[in-house]
Amino acid sequence: MWEQFLKDSVAGVPDAPEEPSARAREVTERLLNAPADEVGWRTYTPAPARRRGRGWYLVGLLAAAALLVAAFDPWDVIGSSGDGASGTPLAQESERPTGAPPVEPARLATLAEPFRGSPAARWADGAAGISVPPARATGWMSTAQVEKALRQTRDFLVASSLDPAVLRGDRPTRAIALVNPHQKDVKDYLAAAFAAAPTQENDPLLLFSRFEPSHARLVGDVVKTRGRITFREGERGALQVTTDVTYVYPVVSAAPGSDEVVRTIARREVVVNWSDPSKVVTAPGTLSLVSYKVDMTNGGCDDRAGWFAPEFGTRGPAEEGAGGETVDPYDRSTPVSGDAPGSPDQGCRTASRS
């Protein structure tokens, strides 16, 4: 037995268990002593799926919807109740629009709501509807001088087309005071325009708005406006200012007890120069008229005689005459033609709405 033991010690016993190495013992001991929930160094547990916030999807959807509305509904028709007075006021016009405003539901104007059923219900009142651009040095004028000239140009529009006294038939004294007195052709025009019987060529309505008190009177004291002023350098370094403004006047017959409200609409384009006094004879603080023209509806046809002569008793869009071209007085997407009803070139036309 002893001899067999010695022999097996030297040669080894088949299938006998081997003594684990020091490295194996170390790993075994670490695994036995490790906490049950410890993650192995070569194991992988997928991270829990991230929940994407549904709120961000909603924000993105609303933003996309807003862009679509801005692109396809510039007049803010979506969500409107149809009553122009209930819609949100329009922002000032900064450039020529691409089309006419949408047609409002047919609703008659009243003394309480003279702009009812009209796009003008969302326009600004008076001078607030005339957009004035930021000034910059142009031609012979500094930035400060341009700013003052733009402000005075708007003052001229207010004095000629919005002054309550002028609308009632008074002479537009404040407006005329802003015109260069050294312009002979304009001086002659103004003298003829306010004569007893002005001609179509000297019609004061080309520049001024006025109603004959015995024929019509304004409803309230609000005139709706929409338009803009632009400027550039003109001849001889002058500051040339172009104005394009639509005025909406609600009126009733001057007869006592009248309650039928109609609207006279005039769109004027007036171009003026603020000239360098070292190059052009002018008076300080005055503008020189370059051109002026008007498109109007329900302002009379051949019988204006220097006054707006709106028609009453139609209870609908004012027809300036049988046949002829139909025009939308609220469409500011095209230039002012100057071929107003009653002009030598165009004759009378029909308004699609008032």
pLDDT computed for residue 260 by the predictor: 96
CB count within 10 Å of CB 158 equals: 17
Show the CA angle centred on residue 271, arms to residues 298 and 122, nearest 5°.
Answer: 50
Q: Give CA–CA dist 167/197, Å, rounded.
A: 18
State residue 197's pLDDT score.
80
Reduced to 3 states (helix: H, G, I; strand: E, B; else coil), residue 2 is helix
pLDDT at site 216:
97
pLDDT of residue 88: 84
pLDDT at res. 41: 38
pLDDT score, position 109? 95
Residue 251 CB neighbours (<10 A)? 23
The model's pLDDT over 208-261, given as tens digits with 9 standing for 90+, comes to 999 999 999 999 999 999 999 999 999 999 999 999 999 999 999 999 999 999
Q: What is the pLDDT of residues 175-215, one digit of tens each?
A: 999 999 999 999 999 999 998 788 888 999 999 999 999 99
Residue located via tokens 């919807």: 65
Phi, psi angles (nearest 5°) of residue 199: -90, 170
Distance CA 270, CA 251 (A): 24
pLDDT at 143: 98
For the chain, the farthest-separated pair of C-alpha atoms sits apart, in whole angstroms, at 157
Q: Which of 275, 241, 255 is nearest to 132 (CA)?
A: 241
Q: What is the pLDDT of residue 208?
A: 98
Among 226, 305, 310, 231, which Cα is nearest to 273's? 231
- Per-residue model confidence (pLDDT) at position 84: 39
Name the stretches of the chain with pLDDT < 70. Answer: 1-87, 302-303, 314-324, 339-348
Determine the pLDDT at residue 254: 96
The amino acid that residue 350 corresponds to is T
- CA distances in angstroms from 78 to 60, 65, 93, 120, listed in the order given: 20, 12, 20, 17
